[in-house]
Amino acid sequence: MNVKPLYALIVSILLAAVAGCATTADNAEPRQTKSGQAIRIEYWTPFSGGDNQFMTEMVERFNREQSDVLVVQTNSRLDDYYSRLRTAILSGNAPDVAINHATNLPQFVQNGYIEDLSVPAEEVGLDWSVFNGNIMGSVVYDGHPYAVPLDTHALVMYYNKEYLSAAGLLDSSDKPILDASEDGFVSFLRRIQEAVPSDVAPLAQPSTRIDSVWLWWSLYNQLEGGGSFYDEQGSKATLDNPQALRALEFVHELYASKLIPPDINDAFKMFYDGKAAVLITGMWGTGAFEHAPALDFGVVPLPTIYDVPAVWGDSHSLVVPTKHGMTDEKRKAIMTFAKWMVEHGEKWAEAGHVPSMTRVVRGEAFNALKYRSDYAATANFVKYWPRHVRQWSTTEVLIREFERMNYGQQTPEQTLKIAAAKIDAELKR
């Protein structure tokens, strides 16, 4: 018998057996999770109005629409946010991308705490000229953009249509009938006070925290010659002046006359629950109020009580903290996310903010939103806090002193004097 076919048979059987093993090994190999390939981006936010749910929705939508980048959002309350962020940066644990208020940028731009975004923006094709000029100005330092502006937000005046109409203070287009002057505003609130139940605040403003400071800064800037904060060197406070006092006295009068009831903690919730006729707060409340089931409200820009329109405002922007281990790949992923965020400004506008991109503000989607167009123009006369590296601390000083005033522990004059002295001391440190 010829032996060759037998060998061929043996070899082919062995080969088949080996091939069988090989294929089973192949099948076992590829089992990797999907998120394993995506670049994970830590994202910190300080939203504590109604706007956080909108931010969360946007992040979720971004994560859904693409699979290369996975953004993980961590929200803290604004009260603790900057302490936390500063500690994180100093301890090398900074997030990959964080929300920063334009007001706070100077302290982060100093010492290179956040990255210059000129080059990374160019890489993902983010054109800086698409932003509103006023907003863009707030993020450029020495000609370099250090943050991607998301929005402008400023104080606006929300009003409960039910109560205003009961007081006969609504015109045919459902706008409040209001004489824009100190007396006019006071009598507006008095007429409301007379028309509403005693547990409803004519004007709701918290006695604590920053709200009264914002109102004062807005009114101070409406006055001719107002708005001065530091001297030219930025080493001394200049806010103990007649204009500042006039504005502050007016704010104090609103509290003292109980047109703003005492001991208010959560004014936002009061208006949301229908326990306030008028609320002066940031425009970020719009989206949340729209979701309030029993609330029929309107919103207008803050009335110009004095000489020129002016209102406190700030801007949310995205910054990239400088840290060890940041790669170009990750930086690109962050900028892709930032670009997506500004291009989807109309979604962010649902929270109530005015988007940073001119195209979005002019676009149909934004203008189709109720209320927003009523205050979109506000962005043009927003008064930011002065650009100063200690601004965060000096504002904290103002808050503490204003709280004392609101609780009747000191007069407006004393408040300004003490605040100026404390700020001077703070600046010298």
- Interface ranges with other proteins (CB under 8 A): 1, 6, 9-10, 13-14, 16-17, 20-21, 24, 27-28, 31, 33, 47-50, 52-53, 74-77, 79-80, 83-84, 87, 206-208, 262-263, 265-266, 268-269, 272, 288, 291-292, 403-404, 407, 409
Smallest distance from the beta carbon of 206 to other proteins, in angstroms?
A: 7
Smallest distance from the beta carbon of 87 to other proteins, in angstroms?
A: 7
Report the 10 Å Cβ neighbour count for 117.
Answer: 24
* Encoded amino acid at 203, one letter: L
Smallest distance from the beta carbon of 45 to other proteins, in angstroms?
A: 11
Nearer to other proteins, 285 or 309 (CB): 285
What are phi and psi for residue 154, nearest 5 degrees? -145, 170
Question: Which ranges of 125-264 would DSSP assign to H, the alpha helix?
Answer: 133-137, 161-166, 182-195, 211-222, 242-256
Smallest distance from the beta carbon of 384 to other proteins, in angstroms?
A: 25
Nearer to other proteins, 40 or 359 (CB): 40
**Minimal CA–CA distance to 158: which of 288, 53, 259, 264?**
288
Q: Say how far apart CA 318 and CA 62 lie, in whole Å.
A: 15
Nearer to other proteins, 77 or 144 (CB): 77
Smallest distance from the beta carbon of 47 to other proteins, in angstroms?
A: 7
Distances in Å between the Cα of 427 and the Cα atoms of 80, 108, 397 are 22, 17, 11
Nearer to other proteins, 166 or 292 (CB): 292
Q: H or E stretch including 23?
A: helix 4-28
Smallest distance from the beta carbon of 51 to other proteins, in angstroms?
A: 8
Work out whether the CA dihedral 96, 102, 104, 106 comes out positive or negative.
positive
Nearer to other proteins, 169 or 254 (CB): 254
Smallest distance from the beta carbon of 55 to other proteins, in angstroms?
A: 11
Nearer to other proteins, 357 or 397 (CB): 397
Under 8 Å between Cβ of 280 and 141: no
Distances in Å between the Cα of 332 and the Cα atoms of 34, 120, 126, 293 are 20, 6, 11, 42
Nearer to other proteins, 78 or 166 (CB): 78
Bridge partner residues of 100 (DSSP):
317
Nearer to other proteins, 236 or 407 (CB): 407
Smallest distance from the beta carbon of 272 to other proteins, in angstroms?
A: 7
Under 8 Å between Cβ of 58 and 111: no
Q: Say how far apart CA 263 and CA 260 lie, in whole Å.
A: 9
What are all long-range contacts of 56-59, with beta carbons under 8 Å and residues at least 24 apart?
57/347, 58/341, 58/344, 58/347, 58/348
**Minimal CA–CA distance to 421: which of 398, 387, 404, 388?**
398
Nearer to other proteins, 45 or 243 (CB): 45
**Minimal CA–CA distance to 401: which of 412, 392, 390, 393?**
412
Smallest distance from the beta carbon of 29 to other proteins, in angstroms?
A: 12
Smallest distance from the beta carbon of 16 to other proteins, in angstroms?
A: 6
* Count of residues making up the chain: 429
The distance from CA 163 to its chain's CA centroid, rounded to whole angstroms, is: 29
Smallest distance from the beta carbon of 42 to other proteins, in angstroms?
A: 10
Bridge partner residues of 176 (DSSP):
170
Question: Which ranges of 29-171 would DSSP assign to H, the alpha helix?
Answer: 52-65, 78-90, 105-109, 118-124, 133-137, 161-166
Nearer to other proteins, 194 or 273 (CB): 273
Nearer to other proteins, 127 or 263 (CB): 263
